[in-house]
């Protein structure tokens, strides 16, 4: 086990201000504001935490993709990574964005839910290509570009990169799922 310490009581000045601002805009378990443990531990390197946090904030709160598509993509990538931590953190946002319990169950089982709209299925196909480290099929990319522009397809790929970084932190430093979050599916525990 290689856990990182909680550095929050050692943060000062600009680092403390950035930590507090990041905590104020991110919902935590139960909808409370606060940084999740992966970001807290990332503040052992405040410069990188700030940069990763800014990317996460851009993608999650100011991105091109609709909330349901973004959350579906995150959950699909979590299944590829075997990251129960990310699943637990994004199940509720997916539900709030309108993703059905049936679609969540299909995703957890590694399937693309048949009832999803075509653009959502195309977004999940992009995630599958990224996770497989292969080129996005041109017809899939065309469907995403038609719906969300080139910015949308780039956003999907960068989203996968961000959540790969998050899952690497979780796995490398044994970051546990915080209390109050949904339990991930058996396949992700």
- Predicted TM-score (pTM) of the model is 0.94
Would residue 56 count as lying in a domain? no
Kindly report, residue by residue over 22-58, the tens digit of the pLDDT: 998 876 655 545 789 999 999 999 999 999 999 999 9
Predicted pLDDT at 33 = 57
Cα dihedral: 116, 122, 128, 134 (round 10): 170
CATH number, position 84? 1.20.1290.10
Number of domains forming the structure of the chain? 1
| Residues in the chain, pLDDT under 50 | 32
* Boundaries of domain holding 124: 67-172
Predicted pLDDT at 34 = 76
Predicted pLDDT at 187 = 86
Would residue 73 count as lying in a domain? yes
Would residue 29 count as lying in a domain? no
**Do the beta carbons of residue 75 and residue 94 sit within 8 Å?**
yes
């Amino acid at each position: 086990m290689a856990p990182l310490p909680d550095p929050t009581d050692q943060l000062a000045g600009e680092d403390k201000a950035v930590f507090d601002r990041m905590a104020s805009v991110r919902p935590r378990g139960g909808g409370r504001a606060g940084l999740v443990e992966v970001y807290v531990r990332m503040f052992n390197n405040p410069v990188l935490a700030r940069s990763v946090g800014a990317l996460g904030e851009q993608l999650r709160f100011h991105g091109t993709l609709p909330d349901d598509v973004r959350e579906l993509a995150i959950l699909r990538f979590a299944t590829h990574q075997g990251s129960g931590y990310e699943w637990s953190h994004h199940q509720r946002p997916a539900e709030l964005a309108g993703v059905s319990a049936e679609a969540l169950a299909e995703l957890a089982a590694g399937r693309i839910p048949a009832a999803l709209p075509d653009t959502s299925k195309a977004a999940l196909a992009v995630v599958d290509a990224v996770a497989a480290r292969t080129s996005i099929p041109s017809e899939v990319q065309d469907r995403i570009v038609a719906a969300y522009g080139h910015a949308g397809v780039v956003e999907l790929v960068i989203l996968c990169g961000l959540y790969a970084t998050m899952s690497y932190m979780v796995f490398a430093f044994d970051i546990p799922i915080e209390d109050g979050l949904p339990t991930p599916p058996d396949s992700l525990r």
